[in-house]
Amino acid sequence: MTEKLLLRALKGGKNTRIVTLNGKRLTKMPAGLRSLPGLKILDLQNNLISEISVEIKNLTQLRTLNLGNNCLNEVPEAIKYLTSLKQLQLFENNIQNFTSEACDGLQNLNLLNLNNNKLTLLPEQIQRLSNLRYLSITNNKLIRIPAEICFLKNLSELHLNYNQLSYLPEEMKCLKKLQKLFVVRNKLEALPEGLCVLRNLRVLDIAGNLIQAFPQGFQKMKLKEFYCEGNPLFLRQPHKALQENYVFTLQEITARFIMNKLVAKNPFLMKAIEWYPLVKDKIAQARKCAVCGKSFLTIWLECVEFVPPDKNWKISGNLKLVPIRVLICSYMCFSLRNPDIFGIAQV
């Protein structure tokens, strides 16, 4: 039956547009693909194929390639010749290696599905997939994602569920078109502050991680759906910090003085700071106190503020208040905090 289907396709020659050999127990890609240069769709899912034939480089008009549920061990370099490819399905294989050269010719790819494989890392060259809109790498063994993934300027949906990620890169702020982010069942302890500037993000699912509180500005995100069940979120009354006095270092006193003067646009300091790049870089690391609003360098007190979730969010049923991490510049400001801010116990 397989032979008959392939012979029928080969008879069509250059006019053949679709070849479907789904579930035929093929152990290798069918010979003769080089005779089908006009092929648009090649469906070989649910077979036993262990490697991608070099003949595939002739399919320069191919738009969709489905090799899901096979026995592939890698995303090979040969894929790069599919310069018209828009959808690549590689789910349910044994893929452990994503060859960096595979990304070279896939500038038209807009969907990549690598679910249920054994990937631990992605190549930095993934940023070359410049038109990628949908990326799913659920149920792999990723220990990190490269910052370069955040330079996929057209990415709108990212699925990273069931991996081993302990953090997301701060460069997430560059994913301006991201609408949906799923990072369920990983090992995240915090979310990057840059996530809060993604104005197009509408769905965020971080269920089953290790997150206790969220970065400042999180409550202002324009989400429509937010799910966080299974995280050890701070409850309404974490331990209060001890009240005590602390003597500021000379560096901190000087830095606060300079930053306050810069806020006031002191012309002398604004001009002088340009001559001292080290000082300028140091001041660029400043944080803002959640109580007095003034800038400081050293994190004196890390606290948590409880705010109600946006009324427009569809949320996890048990989420009544969202714990937001805030910083306070001194114990004096801590004593002036509002009743919704609590200190975090240092253990």
* Confidence at residue 13, expressed as pLDDT on a 0 to 100 scale: 54
Q: Tell me how far apart the alpha carbons of residues 316 and 77 are, in angstroms, rounded to a whole number.
A: 43
What does DSSP assign to residue 247? P
Upper half-sphere CA count for residue 129 (Cβ side, 13 Å) = 28
The dihedral through the CA atoms of 129, 134, 140, 145 has a sign that is positive
CB 52 within 8 A of CB 75: no
The DSSP element (H or E) to which 9 belongs, if any, is: helix 2-12
* Confidence at residue 269, expressed as pLDDT on a 0 to 100 scale: 65
Domain assignment of residue 340, yes or no = no
* Confidence at residue 50, expressed as pLDDT on a 0 to 100 scale: 96
The string of pLDDT tens digits covering residues 178-216 is 999 999 999 999 999 999 999 999 999 999 999 999 999
For position 16, which CATH number holds?
Answer: 3.80.10.10
**What spatial distance separates the first Cα and last Cα of the chain, rounded to whole Å?**
68
Domain assignment of residue 227, yes or no = no
Domain assignment of residue 36, yes or no = yes
Helix (H, G, I), strand (E, B) or coil at 210: coil
Four-CA torsion 228, 126, 80, 38, nearest 10 degrees: 50
The string of pLDDT tens digits covering residues 23-44 is 999 999 988 888 899 999 999 9
- Sort 4 into a burial class: Cβ within 10 Å, 0-12 / 13-18 / 19+: exposed
Number of domains in the chain: 1
Domain assignment of residue 329, yes or no = no
Domain assignment of residue 221, yes or no = no
Which residues, at least 6 apart from 112, have a Cβ–Cβ distance to it below 8 Å?
88, 90, 129, 132, 134, 135, 136
Token pair belonging to 118: 């054994």
DSSP 168-205: --GGGGG-TT--EEE--SS--S---GGGGG-TT--EEE
Domain assignment of residue 21, yes or no = yes
* Confidence at residue 7, expressed as pLDDT on a 0 to 100 scale: 47
Tell me how many helices (H) and strands (E) the chain has: 5, 18
265: left (phi over 0), alpha (psi -120 to 50) or beta: left
Q: Tell me how far apart the alpha carbons of residues 77 and 100 are, in angstroms, rounded to a whole number.
A: 8
* Confidence at residue 245, expressed as pLDDT on a 0 to 100 scale: 55
Domain assignment of residue 45, yes or no = yes
Token pair 């194929």 is found at: 49
* Confidence at residue 12, expressed as pLDDT on a 0 to 100 scale: 52
Domain that holds residue 116: 2-164
Phi, psi dihedral angles at 291 (to 5 degrees): -100, -60
Q: Tell me how far apart the alpha carbons of residues 302 and 347 are, in angstroms, rounded to a whole number.
A: 13
Q: Which residues of the chain have pLDDT under 50?
A: 1, 7, 347
* Confidence at residue 1, expressed as pLDDT on a 0 to 100 scale: 47
CB 119 within 8 A of CB 91: no
Token pair 């330079």 is found at: 151
C-alpha distances (whole Å) from 75 to each of 3, 93, 181, 310, 324 are 27, 10, 24, 42, 40
